[in-house]
Amino acid sequence: MGINLGSGKEHRVIDMANMVNELTSNEAGIKYVERRDWDVEDGLKKVHDWFVENWEDIDKNTEF
Express as a percent the part of the chain with pLDDT over 90. 23
Confidence at residue 53, expressed as pLDDT on a 0 to 100 scale? 94
Euclidean distance between CA atoms 32 and 34, whole angstroms: 7
Closest residue by Cα to residue 17 from 37, 36, 3: 3
| pTM of full prediction above 0.75 | no
pLDDT in tens, 32-57: 888 777 666 777 788 889 989 999 99
